[in-house]
Structure 1
Amino acid sequence: MAMMQRRTNVRLPPEVNRILYIRNLPYKITAEEMYDIFGKYGAIRQIRVGNTPETRGTAFVVYEDIFDAKNACDHLSGFNVCNRYLVVLYYQSNKAFKRIDIDKKKEEIDKMKTKYGINAEEKK
């Protein structure tokens, strides 16, 4: 018989984070509107809405509780705001973004090697 686990003992996937990274937001969305949408899922510590040309349409939402963040992520991915569907991701530390860059660079190098017939494992 499985006993009811207390919430504190629930194992969460490793990528689950109190910080959500939101993409595909309407450019004109306000912090107040963000609080209205995301506040339904729990107490929010901070919301940062992108305001530069590079960060427009994105935001970070920091919840007090990791379970509230998970709940929001599960329910708000694909949520329609002004005919835009939100992309809600768990924030990954810079390491994750750097890793993607390294993989991309490696892929580019491999393509160049193939294009120019360079084979690293070539026997002399």
Structure 2
Amino acid sequence: MASSGMIKFTVVLTCLAVIASHAEAAVTCAGVLNSVAPCIVYLNGGGISPVPPACCAGARSLNLQTRTMPDRQAACRCLKPILNSFPNPAAVPTIAPKCGVNLSFKITPSMNCATIN
């Protein structure tokens, strides 16, 4: 049986993929959410287990997708609505550093997408 976090993520992913088709940035919500999907197990575990290799690959992919300010802001708009659906949203910003990825913006539930540069 699927966890409630996975069900919420799937619903949000579907909704955001539809909305994202109107975005000006080259990054899409479907691409962003596909990158972070392998991290769900880590996040549902509270971020205390080692980050799975597939999650680190997703963090690297997200980093490649967010090279410009519009792309970073678009990725932020895709990610922000789902962050609080995880049992420990504070674990989200730990992923990139644990994977050795230097994202150009910090992913937190309180991030302001309009101020990301």
Question: More strand per residue: 1 or 2?
Answer: 1
Q: Which has the larger helix fraction? A: 2
TM over 0.5: no
TM-score scaled by length of structure 2: 0.32
TM-score w.r.t. the length of structure 1 is 0.30
